[in-house]
């Protein structure tokens, strides 16, 4: 019936302008053509009167849909021939400016979008109340959507089809990591922008089942312009202030499966690189992002061995996508005033730093401001603030000095501020913003020299002068590199990987134990370190202390032994009075360390000593002299730190960084210094504090009874048979054989045999003295029995 109505509508021979499909389902493309009345909306090559242009419905890497059309011919068919225009083409011509668009078109589109969102929310609420099999089916459907997107064309072919067999996509992290290690062995140089283009966008995923909250996925789009056979994609976590971010903090599954931490890796390999037409597109949108977390995304290529590296972050999830904000609050206000974008930083360019951000299609008129601050010694200094054009998607910062920087991106408004002072905090409104940290290792300066007007000799002289200047600067840098202290930026040290350390000490006194606790809190708060210490885990725990000690010694990446006067006393064979509900672990840990150092030394001494130096360390506080560490331990290849003067070096060592260089990081050690002052004050008030802590003083103080009141007992060196039988029955052991006399045990001749000779020169040796003592004890036992 619809077909008959169409025939009646165009029976008068009125031509129509529409879209003719000439691509495929995976890669559609259309021609803008003029149809006769009977071929309206269909693809019949013989029925096309005239071709006016082409239209590509898929957006390019700039999120643009391209249209090429002859406007003169379009106006001719509309004005002179009264041609009908299809609805899909009418929208394109209206957005292009050829035809006017009525305001009701935008209003109707807005209402239509709101109805679609309400329909989706209702569907989600119905799905949450449905049975569990349906929920599992929807979750599996969502996982199936999470896959790669590849668009490539075969060479020397005009057929616009995507051939699946031209490439192999690897989504197994271990296999991808092994392939990358084989193809890209060393650290390659950075790729040029002409080799590949990488852009980022965010994808909001609304819940499809119960107990699921909305989240953000990172969509990575890569355009490969030059011949590349393999592309590797890896996402690493640099900083995650939210402890619920399992991607950055929970790596138990990786250690369980592979025995080590491997960041997720994906790869695309061309099976026939010579048959592929360049450029081709590779997209992936399955990496999940968390609010305020910083990630490094690395893209490596083979066989030309180059890479691109970016830092990516997002603000609060409700600020990135209005749909997530409406999910939590249906009445929440939306618009550009409550939006801040996804931001990425490209540090791989030699002469500039590029800060890119994602634009929302609904906020095309929003202007983004970029405010850059530099961090020096835990203080931030404002450098500049620039406001970009409404159609800009990136900001290029040229002539960048080396240092640590923080960039804030927000919508430029007059009714809010980026920073509010304490005086105007009640009246000031903070602008929603996205904050991203990055470190520039070397200066990025652009040298622009115009040589168009120079003659041949002028070019030669200028080149020679530049070479001399470069040689002089290289010599100067090489000469001063050994004298200047090398600086390592904190984000590269503290956020690359979270490590663990087991701290072993002695309970000298209460202020000393509190000082060790403050040190452990500083390492956990400022150094990105998980600290295993008895005061954190054993005071309110039912775990066995020795089993806990052995477990933490085995699983910790590093073990730190803190020497003090109490530890030195324990090494001399003395014992401290136990104040805590757990024993001292210092001697146990020291014996385990010596065992680690002494095992297999003859077979692989160099390798073992290097592993020992990377895992174990000694330390002592400033109120304890360096002599508390015995000289015999100085021969071991183990670092020694004096705290708190070398806290920065200790943090570098814990993150497998060189510990003998200066480190530029911000660590607040004021609380540790206060704790050290309390220890010094306590020792000044109690000069005999160590003698009071020894076990011998406790035994002497408890012996307050009179010796004459204790009945005299004859000491026996051996139990009588009845006592032996009683003890055996108590311990569930086999009772010993009861002999009536010592003659049944040892013959008399053997018992009275003379060992050695009085004139023997070895009579005074240790062995002979030991045998003489044993003989005297044996004769005494025999005399007691007889």
pLDDT in tens, 56-70: 888 777 767 788 888
Degrees (nearest 5) of the Cα angle 666, 667, 668? 120
Query: Higher-confidence residue: 285 or 599?
Result: 285
pLDDT band at 696 (very low <50, low <70, confident <90, very high): low
How far is residue 124 CA from its own chain's centroid? 33
| Averaged pLDDT, 150-165 | 62
**φ and ψ of 479, to 5 deg:** -70, -40
CA-CA-CA-CA torsion sign (70, 72, 76, 79): positive
* Tens of pLDDT, residues 182-236: 888 777 888 887 788 899 999 888 876 656 778 899 999 988 888 888 999 999 9
Q: What percent of the chain has pLDDT over 90?
A: 14
Under 8 Å CB-to-CB from 108, ≥6 apart: which residues?
A: none
Arithmetic mean of pLDDT over the chain: 75
Length of the chain: 786
Is residue 518's pLDDT more than 60? yes
**φ and ψ of 782, to 5 deg:** -65, -40
* Tens of pLDDT, residues 417-445: 888 877 766 778 888 899 999 999 888 88
The pLDDT, as a whole number, for residue 344 is 95
The residue assigned the tokens 């002999």 is 739
Q: What is the dihedral of CA 142, 147, 153, 155, to 10 degrees?
A: -160
What number does CATH give the domain 330-448?
Answer: 2.60.40.10
Is residue 628's pLDDT more than 50? yes
Report the DSSP beta bridge partners of residue 618: 561, 640
Q: What is the DSSP letter of 527?
A: S
Yes or no: is domain 2-101 CATH 3.30.1320.10?
yes
| Rounded Cα distance, 367 and 387, in Å | 7
| Rounded Cα distance, 193 and 198, in Å | 9
pLDDT band at 395 (very low <50, low <70, confident <90, very high): very high
pLDDT band at 707 (very low <50, low <70, confident <90, very high): very low
What number does CATH give the domain 492-697?
Answer: 3.40.50.11530
In DSSP notation, 286-336 reads: EEEE-TT-EEEEEEEEETTTEEEEEEEE---HHHH-HHHHHHH-TT---SG
The pLDDT, as a whole number, for residue 437 is 92
CA-CA-CA-CA torsion sign (416, 417, 418, 421): negative
The pLDDT, as a whole number, for residue 515 is 93
The pLDDT, as a whole number, for residue 396 is 92
The pLDDT, as a whole number, for residue 765 is 43
Query: Higher-confidence residue: 675 or 491?
Result: 675
Yes or no: is domain 146-314 CATH 2.70.98?
no
Degrees (nearest 5) of the Cα angle 640, 644, 645? 75
The pTM of the full predicted model, rounded to 2 decimals, is 0.43
pLDDT band at 406 (very low <50, low <70, confident <90, very high): very high
Q: Element (H or E) spanning 217, and its range?
A: strand 215-224
Q: In what order do the strands lie in the sheet with 433-440?
A: 379-387, 368-376, 403-411, 433-440
The answer to whether residues 18 and 49 touch, using CB atoms and an 8 Å cutoff, is no
| Rounded Cα distance, 164 and 162, in Å | 6
The residue assigned the tokens 């065992």 is 595
């Amino acid at each position: 019936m619809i077909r008959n109505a169409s025939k009646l509508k165009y029976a008068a021979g009125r031509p129509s302008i529409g879209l003719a499909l000439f691509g495929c389902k995976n890669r559609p493309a259309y021609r803008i053509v003029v149809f006769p009345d009977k071929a309206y909306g269909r693809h019949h090559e013989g029925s096309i009167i005239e071709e006016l242009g082409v239209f590509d419905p898929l957006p390019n890497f700039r999120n643009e849909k391209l249209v090429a059309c002859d406007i003169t011919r379009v106006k001719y068919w509309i004005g002179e021939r009264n041609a009908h225009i299809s609805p899909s083409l009418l929208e394109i011509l209206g957005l292009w400016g050829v035809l006017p668009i009525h305001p009701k078109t935008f209003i109707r589109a807005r209402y239509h979008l709101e109805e679609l969102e309400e329909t989706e929310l209702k569907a989600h609420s119905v799905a949450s109340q449905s049975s569990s099999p349906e929920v599992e089916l929807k979750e599996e459907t969502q996982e199936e959507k999470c896959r790669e997107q590849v668009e490539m064309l075969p060479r020397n072919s005009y057929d616009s089809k995507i051939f699946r067999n031209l490439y192999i996509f690897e989504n197994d992290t271990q296999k991808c990591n092994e392939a990358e290690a084989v193809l890209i062995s060393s650290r390659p140089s950075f790729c040029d922008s002409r080799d590949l283009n990488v852009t980022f966008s965010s994808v909001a995923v609304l819940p499809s089942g119960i107990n699921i909250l909305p989240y953000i996925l990172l969509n990575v789009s890569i355009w490969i312009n030059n011949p590349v056979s393999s592309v590797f994609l890896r996402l690493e976590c640099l900083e995650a202030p939210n402890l619920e971010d399992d991607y950055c903090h929970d790596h138990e599954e990786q250690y369980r499966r592979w025995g080590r931490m491997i960041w997720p890796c994906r790869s695309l390999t061309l099976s026939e690189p010579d048959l592929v037409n360049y450029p081709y597109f590779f997209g992936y949108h399955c990496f999940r992002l968390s609010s305020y977390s910083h990630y490094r995304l690395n893209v490596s290529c083979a066989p030309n061995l180059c890479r691109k590296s970016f830092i990516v972050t997002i603000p609060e999830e409700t600020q990135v996508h209005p749909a997530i904000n409406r999910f939590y609050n249906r009445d929440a206000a939306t618009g550009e005033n409550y939006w801040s974008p996804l931001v990425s930083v490209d540090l791989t360019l030699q002469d500039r730093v590029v800060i890119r951000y994602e634009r929302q299609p609904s906020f095309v008129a929003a202007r983004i401001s970029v405010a850059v601050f530099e961090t020096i010694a835990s203080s931030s200094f404002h450098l500049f603030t620039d406001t970009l054009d409404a159609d800009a998607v990136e900001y290029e910062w040229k002539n960048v000095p080396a240092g640590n920087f923080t960039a804030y991106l927000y919508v430029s408004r007059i009714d809010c501020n980026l920073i509010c002072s304490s005086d105007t905090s009640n009246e000031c409104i903070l602008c929603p913003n996205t904050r991203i940290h990055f470190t520039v290792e070397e200066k990025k300066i652009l040298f622009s020299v115009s040589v168009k007007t120079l003659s041949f000799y002028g070019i030669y002289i200028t080149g020679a002068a530049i070479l001399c200047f470069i040689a002089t600067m290289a010599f100067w840098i090489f000469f001063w590199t050994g004298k200047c202290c090398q600086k390592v930026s904190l984000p590269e040290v503290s956020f690359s990987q979270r490590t663990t350390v087991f701290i072993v000490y002695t309970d000298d006194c209460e202020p000393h134990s509190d000082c060790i606790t403050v040190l452990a809190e500083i390492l956990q708060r400022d150094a990105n370190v998980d600290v295993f210490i008895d005061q954190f885990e054993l005071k309110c725990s039912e775990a066995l202390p020795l089993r806990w000690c052995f477990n933490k010694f085995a699983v910790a990446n590093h073990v730190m032994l803190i020497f003090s006067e109490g530890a030195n006393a324990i090494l001399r064979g003395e014992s401290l009075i136990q104040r805590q509900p757990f024993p001292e672990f210092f001697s146990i840990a020291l014996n385990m360390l010596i065992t680690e150092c002494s095992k297999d030394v003859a077979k692989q001494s160099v390798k073992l000593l290097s592993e020992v130096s990377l895992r174990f360390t000694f330390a002592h506080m400033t109120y304890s002299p360096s002599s508390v560490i015995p000289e015999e331990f100085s021969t071991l290849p183990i670092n020694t730190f004096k705290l708190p003067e070398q806290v920065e070096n200790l943090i570098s060592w814990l993150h497998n960084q060189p510990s003998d260089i200066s480190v530029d990081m911000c660590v607040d050690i004021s609380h540790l210094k206060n704790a050290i002052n309390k220890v010094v004050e306590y020792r000044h008030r109690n000069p005999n504090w160590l003698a009071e802590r020894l076990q011998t003083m406790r035994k002497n103080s408890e012996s307050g009874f009179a010796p004459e009141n204790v009945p005299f007992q004859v000491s026996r060196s051996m139990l009588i048979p009845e006592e032996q039988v009683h003890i055996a029955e108590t311990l569930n052991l086999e009772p010993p054989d009861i002999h009536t006399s010592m003659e049944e045990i040892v013959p008399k001749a053997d018992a009275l045999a003379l060992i050695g000779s009085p004139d023997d020169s070895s009579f005074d040796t240790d062995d002979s003295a030991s045998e003489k003592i044993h003989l005297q004890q044996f004769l005494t036992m025999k005399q007691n029995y007889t």
